[in-house]
Amino acid sequence: MSELNVIRLEKDHMTNWLVFAVLSILGLSGYRILIKVVGGETTPFIYIVCASFLYFLAWLIVVLHEGPILAQLEALPATSALLILGLTASFFLADYSLLRAYMIGAPLSIMTVLLGLSMAFTVLFGLFFFRESLNWLQVVGILLGIASFVILSFAEGYRPGV
């Protein structure tokens, strides 16, 4: 394979959204496991400040790689700025709440299923506001996800807060 073909293969590989979906799954899995471990080690404030700073640095590297950051910020429409504020609030709410839940003893297995319910809300949002569609197999998968939440939440021996 020539050097040109290798470069094209790598470029085509990185334009496939499934690659990023798998990386997202790996990242979220690591996030959920590590936030459980960190939960008992520090206060939520210290965790969120440190994690947010490192998160900012990581994104800064990505953005700088994409081009001049000031030009990108100047071109940002006001509606996008409002969406960014909403995104920030969502991250904060998720991080803080998840960390607090783990600090008071939430089990990782149950929290993972509960967090999976965000999928159902996101799917509904996509259906109603973005006019996306689902096939019957996707609907069955979503219903199975919701059923797993119900089964695990009400399983014998599970008592929230204990």
Host H or E run for residue 132: none
Average pLDDT in the chain = 76
Residues 153, 74, single domain; the answer is no
pLDDT, tens digit, for every residue of 128-144? 988 989 999 988 988 88
Q: What is the pLDDT of residue 137?
A: 93
**Can you give the residue range of the structural domain that contains 151?**
107-162
pLDDT, tens digit, for every residue of 12-37? 555 677 787 778 888 888 887 777 77
Contact criterion met (CB below 8 Å) for 42 and 48: no
Residues 94, 122, single domain; the answer is no
Domain count for the chain, please give it: 2
Q: What is the pLDDT of residue 1?
A: 46
Look-up of token digits 């949002």: 125
Q: What's the rounded mean pLDDT across residues 154-162? A: 58
pLDDT, tens digit, for every residue of 71-126? 777 787 888 888 888 888 888 888 888 888 877 888 877 777 777 778 778 888 88
Residues 48, 86, single domain; the answer is yes
Max distance between CA atoms of the chain, in angstroms, equals: 61
Rounded Cα distance between 18 and 69, Å, is: 28
Residues 6+ apart with CB under 8 A from 13: 19
Q: What is the pLDDT of residue 42?
A: 67
Residues 95, 49, single domain; the answer is yes
Name the residue with higher pLDDT: 63 or 52.
52
Percent of the chain topping pLDDT 90: 4
Distances from the Cα of 78 to the Cα of 5, 46, 72, 74, angstroms? 42, 31, 13, 10
Query: Under DSSP, is residue 131 helix (H, G, I), strand (E, B) or coil?
Result: coil
Distances from the Cα of 162 to the Cα of 35, 41, 159, angstroms? 19, 19, 6
pLDDT, tens digit, for every residue of 75-84? 878 888 888 8
Residues 32, 77, single domain; the answer is yes
